[in-house]
Amino acid sequence: MNKKTLLTILGAVLVIAAVGFGLYNSGMFGNSTTPAAGNNLSGNVKDAKAAMQTLYTSLQNECNASGAWKAEMRGDKIALVDAGSGKEVAFISHVSDQEVDISGVVTNLDAMPADAKQKVESQISEFNTSSPVGTMRMDGGNLVMMHRLNPQMNSAEQMAKTVVKFGDVAKQQAQKVGVAS
């Protein structure tokens, strides 16, 4: 091999190492050295219980401010409860240092007439492309809404605001579907 070939190979190895190091530090492999600013659920907080407690505290504050919602710990999950009706609208789960899931059943469509059910099913795509929060899908006879958050990119306060917005949208969709039947 000549000197030019060796320098080319060495340069390529250095570029690959630099890219790999950048991905490693970015958190792509689950161990970011630069967590998101604010009261996040990543970084030094590895324990899922502690992470959920941080989110629960922020969500309680957000629920108190809105007056429409209550947050309740249910084992390792947080329930978002409609303060007026007492109905559980969503559950928040800590999946990993990079994922917190919000999910809830908007309504059950089993008792709905077939034509009304088809109308709701046709509106799912429109909702999914236009909603500021949440993705809907059918799961058996249930219309389910879900949303994923990355705690490394969002503070607990930001996630709490998103959870309340999720609840507001889920409640609106349940009312909308109720009108369709």
The H or E element that residue 138 is part of is: strand 135-139
Gap between the Cα atoms of 69 and 58, Å rounded? 13
Grade residue 86 by pLDDT with cuts at 50, 70 and 90.
very high
Please give the backbone phi and psi of residue 50, each rounded to the nearest 5 degrees, phi first: -65, -40
Could you read off the pLDDT of 88-101 as tens digits, one per residue? 999 999 998 899 99
Asked if 166 and 93 touch (Cβ cutoff 8 Å), the reply is: no
Could you read off the pLDDT of 59-76 as tens digits, one per residue? 999 999 999 999 999 988
pLDDT for 118: 87
Gap between the Cα atoms of 33 and 124, Å rounded? 39
DSSP string, 120-154: HHHHHHHHHHH-SS-EEEEETTEEEEEEEE-TTTS
How many residues belong to the chain?
181
